Amino acid sequence: MMIKVLILICVLFIGDRIMAQEKERLYDFSFSQTPIEEVIAEVERQSGHVFSYESSLLRGFPAITLRMKSFSLVNVLERVFAANGVHYKVVRNYVVLKKRKPFFVISGTVRDFASLETLIQASVYDGKRGMGTMTNNHGFYSLALPGGKVQLTISFVGYKSYQTAFTLSRDTVISVDLVQDNRLDEVLVEGGITRGGIRKVQPGQVRFPVKMVNVLPSLLSESDLLKTLQLMPGVKTGSEGLAGLYVRGGNMDENLYLMDGVPLYNPSHLLGFFSTFNSDAVKNVDFYKSSFPARYGGRLSSVVDVRIKEGDMEAYHGSISVGLIASKLQLEGPIKKGKTSFNVSARRTYLDLIASPLIKSLTRSSSRDNLSYEKGGYYFMDVNAKVTHKFSERNQLALNCYWGHDKAWYGMYDKDKNLSGTDPRDYVSDDNWSWSWGNFIVALEWGARLNSRLYSNTSVSYSRYLSRINISMFEKMQTNKDSGSWKPEVLNDSYSHFNSGIYDWIVKSDFEYNLNERHTGRFGGSYAYHTFVPEMSRLKIASDDFGAGIPGNWQSRTESWVYGNEIALYAEDEIRLTERLRVHPGVRLALFRVERKNYFSVEPRFSLQYQTTKRLSMNVSYAEMSQYVHLLAFGGVSLPSDLWVPVSKEIKPMLSRQVSGGIYYQFNRGWDVSLEGYYKTMKNQIDYLDGASILPEYKNWKEHVAVGKGEAYGLEVQVQKSAGKTTGWVNYTLAWANRRFPGGEINYGRKYPAKYDSRHGVNIALVHRFNKRFDISAAWVFHSGARATIALEKYAGATVEGVVETPPTVDHVEYRNNFRMKAYHRLDLGFNFHRYRKRGVSTWSIGLYNAYSRLNPFFMYSDTERIAGSNARKPVLRQASIFPVIPSFSYTFRF
């Protein structure tokens, strides 16, 4: 508790020191149906300011009822005059009142000049009034301004800005195609208050161009979006090399992954070592870890909102990449110039092409009477395809598809002859095991500009995650009993099949509405029909004894189908109270029905930002989140056997409440500093009981889990440089994450640290561009070791009259996650060599993963070792490590 108090004191102390620099005189007012003239007189008396206005301005002005204590003069003027349509301006000791000019809306779309692809989060700013906005996920913007002169600037990182000056006297449409400016230094990171983002009201939000993902070093030169997110403050990784995210004390299943707004249930390949997001297909990424906008829901800890490229509408181009384990292909271009475009990207590993013949060759045993060998392999592949058609400046339709597939298999073949010599027989066995899993998504999305103030986006989508396990066993024996005539003696053929998956049909509509110059609202709703198939298994056995021909039948069949209906409605608003103060209130209503049980939640969201100076801002936020699905998983490895299950009559939805605050400062030349603190509580957390199986099973799963509480809190500091030849960031996280199960099922009901409770974390990511032909990158990661539950003591078992009542030795575990492994740290290096050709650019990339070959712990296990000079042995703990230094290379050609 003391730590939490110190964190809050630290944040509030710094904020108080900053506010003291611009401290204003505060006033107390109390009015009840008071005429405006008396209100003005009282304000003049207390403040010493003199009001100047035309008498006709206040005719018909409503009586004022207001109680304010310790408020500044600006706050009073806002509540009295601005709220009633009168414009005020404080000039020295005078308050000038004028009739507020009517406001008009400037709207339009911002695109790339060459490809006509929309630009997300382009800045639209009126320098005359200091007001601005940004384009949405479809490149559309809407900005309400009072009538009069406007100095409009539309800009985007890496593009030449568009500027125009005019007199605004009616609603105006300005759509702009920006031209790339290769002379500008590329801004790699946008988060907090980076260039153009100081007015953002969302703390805890990170946005960065996908080009950064391709530049930073990665495992086996396979660029990975989730690995880049692991370098953000407040984000913890799982075990060595895995792509899972543990955000601000949350579990792996508490992250919402969206691909063009459609949930993705399995975000990783190769048991979690690579993510399913192909960076060649990705256009933009928004990452939220606090202050979640009301339009997002369904998870507790974070949102990863990924938008896929629409494709170039004017010219064909793409890229080909070949690496150590995978190759990629991306192609985009117009189907009909200026109207319809496509974008297709695909990648595949070829581990199976290398491993399969190698395994067979190394295990092959062949003689005159015997032939045996083993077979196995693994590969993954995925395909992104998107077609976009532009009907007009107001209407656009997009069809997006994603298919990802992983497959692993293993088998043994054995054939023997002359087993008995005098009674020659021919024996054949062929056993095979295969495991495949993957995602499939298809979404039809319609974006429409209904008028200058209202934009809508409606989509219909289907999402599927499926895992299959097939096991077949074939056994045959033949004998030669009738003078050379071979007859079957025994034939056994068995086949087992296991299925697990989740199927979603989703319909949703989102609207953005620019009410006036002070309000920009969003509202919408969605309906999802879920089909959960946690477990479906079948067993088939066929036999043929001396030609009897007994057919195969399904001997065992298990099916589990659960259906859920989910409805959500939301509304949020961005309110500009003053030039310095903005608030972002919102609420989300959700209803989940399963097993004839209804769960209803009201999730308020609120954030406030105060800009003390042009470079300094502060904000606070509060968010409540609900989660209606659980992932039954064991440990930190993402296995395809992990089961997604919904809430039930016994297991209630998980809930979280998070309070966070931050201070952001922007220096000159692209240097930014941010400090954030947070405190989060979680209810209805589930975890496996001690001794539960490592392989989840749906049957009676509720009997193997406990329901409890969690809390997480910490501080995050980040310094980043987003301009110049050297760019990157350094961040530090101080964090705590705890769990408690009051029922006593785990750890006797006492509080214990979560598995990925990590006290300290440091991430450094740097990119230096020497020239257009050569750049280097480096990433260094450090965090306190992960937790593990290990018996650190053993005691002898009891015996009664020679009968062992307990095992000879009994393990004693003091509490859950009682052991912290060694600290984790790793350095990755990347070198990129670019060669510019007439038809494109070729790039050779060389990488070193874990450059100084740190043997980080993957897991710990108990063992014994011999004591020197005796035959006695002592217990020891040993560490398993999987990744030493790993060099890699890849070749990419972009045309």
pLDDT of res. 565: 95
CA distances in angstroms from 309 to 120, 279, 328, 398, 841, listed in the order given: 11, 10, 16, 11, 20
* 666 membership: H or E segment, kind and range: strand 654-666
Beta strands in 289-394 (DSSP E): 302-308, 317-323, 326-336, 340-349, 365-366, 370-390
SS3 8: helix
Does the pLDDT of residue 9 top 60, yes or no? no
Report the helix count and the strand count for the chain, using DSSP H and E: 6, 57
Q: What is the mean pLDDT of residues 854-880?
A: 80
- Rg over CA atoms, the chain: 32
3-state secondary structure 798-817: CEECCEECCCCEEEECCCCC
Beta strands in 517-580 (DSSP E): 519-543, 550-576
pLDDT of res. 58: 85
Tell which wins on pLDDT, 37 or 25: 37
240 touches 882 (CB < 8 A): yes
Tell which wins on pLDDT, 195 or 578: 578
Q: What is the mean pLDDT of residues 770-777?
A: 90
CATH topology of domain 2-99: Phage tail protein beta-alpha-beta fold (3.55.50)
Any idea what DSSP says for residue 514?
Answer: E
pLDDT of res. 484: 53
Tell which wins on pLDDT, 166 or 862: 166
Give the C-alpha separation, 623 to 436, whole Å: 38
306 touches 353 (CB < 8 A): no
Find the angle CA(337)-CA(342)-CA(346) to the nearest 5 degrees: 150
The string of pLDDT tens digits covering residues 610-652 is 888 878 889 899 999 999 998 876 555 556 567 788 888 888 9
Does the pLDDT of residue 145 top 50, yes or no? yes
DSSP 690-718: TT--SS--STTGGGGEEEEEEEEEEEEEE
Q: What is the mean pLDDT of residues 866-872?
A: 80
566 touches 547 (CB < 8 A): no
Which residues, other chains included, contact 362 with Cβ-Cβ below 8 Å and sequence gap of 6+? none
pLDDT of res. 749: 87
Q: What is the mean pLDDT of residues 374-398?
A: 90
The string of pLDDT tens digits covering residues 658-702 is 999 999 988 877 788 999 999 999 999 888 776 655 455 666 677
The string of pLDDT tens digits covering residues 586-601 is 999 999 999 889 999 9
The string of pLDDT tens digits covering residues 159-192 is 888 999 988 888 888 899 999 875 544 443 333 3
Does the pLDDT of residue 557 top 70, yes or no? no
Does the pLDDT of residue 292 top 80, yes or no? yes
Does the pLDDT of residue 808 top 70, yes or no? no
Tell which wins on pLDDT, 128 or 697: 128
Ranking 209-213, 504-508, 850-854 by mean pLDDT, the lowest is: 209-213
CB atoms within 10 A of CB 830: 23
Give the C-alpha separation, 476 to 471, whole Å: 17
Please report which confidence band the pLDDT of residue 213 belongs to, taking 50, 70 and 90 as the band edges.
confident
Q: What is the mean pLDDT of residues 232-251?
A: 80
Give the C-alpha separation, 790 to 808, whole Å: 18
Q: What is the mean pLDDT of residues 443-458?
A: 91
Which residues, other chains included, contact 202 with Cβ-Cβ below 8 Å and sequence gap of 6+? 288, 291, 293, 584, 607, 621
Give the C-alpha separation, 397 to 631, whole Å: 34
Domain boundaries of the chain, sorted by first residue: 2-99, 103-184
Does the pLDDT of residue 20 top 50, yes or no? no
Give the C-alpha separation, 682 to 625, whole Å: 9
* 73 membership: H or E segment, kind and range: helix 73-80
The dihedral over CA atoms of 61, 62, 65, 71, expressed in degrees to the nearest 10, equals -30
The CATH number that domain 103-184 falls under is 2.60.40.1120
Average model confidence (pLDDT) across the chain:
82
CA distances in angstroms from 836 to 154, 159, 411, 424, 774, listed in the order given: 31, 21, 48, 70, 11
Q: What is the mean pLDDT of residues 741-751?
A: 87
Which residues, other chains included, contact 367 with Cβ-Cβ below 8 Å and sequence gap of 6+? none
Please report which confidence band the pLDDT of residue 284 belongs to, taking 50, 70 and 90 as the band edges.
confident
CB atoms within 10 A of CB 252: 24
861 touches 880 (CB < 8 A): yes
In a 13 Å sphere around the CA of 386, the CA atoms on its Cβ side amount to: 25
Any idea what DSSP says for residue 159?
Answer: B
The string of pLDDT tens digits covering residues 465-496 is 988 888 888 777 666 555 455 555 556 677 78
CB atoms within 10 A of CB 441: 22
